[in-house]
Chain A
Amino acid sequence: EVQLLESGGGLVQPGGSLRLSCVGSGFNFSDYAMSWVRQSPVKGLEWLSVISDSSDKTYYADSVKGRFTISRDNSKKTLYLQMNSLTAEDAAVYYCATNYRYFDRWGQGTLVTVSS
């Protein structure tokens, strides 16, 4: 069974940092580009970033460029999102998903709350 399991969410103060992880199982993780997508009641679904299967290419949404960094470790079948300089607008459920131009597998999401 294909599974993506996110972790690392929680409560963080404005200006703080958080690193999210996403472990894949049931498929050949290293064959797929991987993306992060978040969802909040205010902004709805928002694509954040993608990393190619071999990590040679990364793209970011303008809203997170320069603050968030996507990376992966194929040996651990794990995708990461380092998030810095967090603001209230970054509060959301964060999903990892396979692929880029469409997202065919999604994790269950991890909640990030930004508050003092």
Chain B
Amino acid sequence: QSALTQPASVSGSPGQSIIISCTGTSSDIGGYNFVSWYQQHPGKAPKLLIYGVNDRPPGVSNRFSGSKSGNTASLTISGLQTDDEADYYCSSYTNNNAIVFGGGTKLTVL
């Protein structure tokens, strides 16, 4: 199972919005609504931000939102804050009962 494709890095200024894309295939993102997004700060475990394409767990800011079109999912972060600077990973359920992750995107808040 090949990893999902994410941009290596994105950047934005405080208050701006950014979008991180995550591209897969019809065997994963395109075939199921089981896309998740995670935030990881250095030295910490990943934290779930979005599940089921666009649902947020309790306690996650509504500045984080998810969407999907075809084989590509997207994470939008609005009102960028300095603490948003972290690595972001997407994941998807696949047609062979596996989970596949993206390679990760480093967000820099300028």
Q: List chain A positions with a Cβ less than 8 A from chain B.
A: 35, 44-47, 50, 59, 61-62, 95, 100-104, 106-109
Contacts and interface: CB of A to CB of B under 8 A. Distances in A.
A95 B101 contact: no
Q: What 5 A-B pairs come out closest when comparing CB atoms?
A: A102-B51, A47-B99, A106-B45, A102-B36, A45-B101
Interface stretch (B18-26, B72-80, B89-97): B89-97
Contacts of B103: 44
Contact of A104 (B1, B57, B93, B98): B57
B34 A109 contact: no
Contacts of B45: 95, 106-109
Most B-side CB within 10 Å, residue of A95, A101, A109? A101
13 contacts: A35-B99, A44-B104, A45-B46, A45-B104, A46-B101, A47-B91, A47-B101, A50-B99, A62-B98, A100-B99, A102-B34, A103-B91, A106-B46
A45 B102 CA distance: 8
Interface residues of B, number: 23
Contacts of A107: 45
Interface of B: 1, 3, 34, 36, 38, 45-48, 51-52, 57, 89, 91, 93, 97-104
Contacts of A108: 45
Contacts of A61: 1, 98
Given A44-B3, A106-B45, A101 B97 contact: no
Contacts of B36: 101-103
Contact of A106 (B47, B57, B104): B47
A61 B91 CA distance: 14
A102 B48 contact: yes
Contacts of A106: 45-47
B57 A44 contact: no
A24 B39 CA distance: 22
B99 A104 contact: no
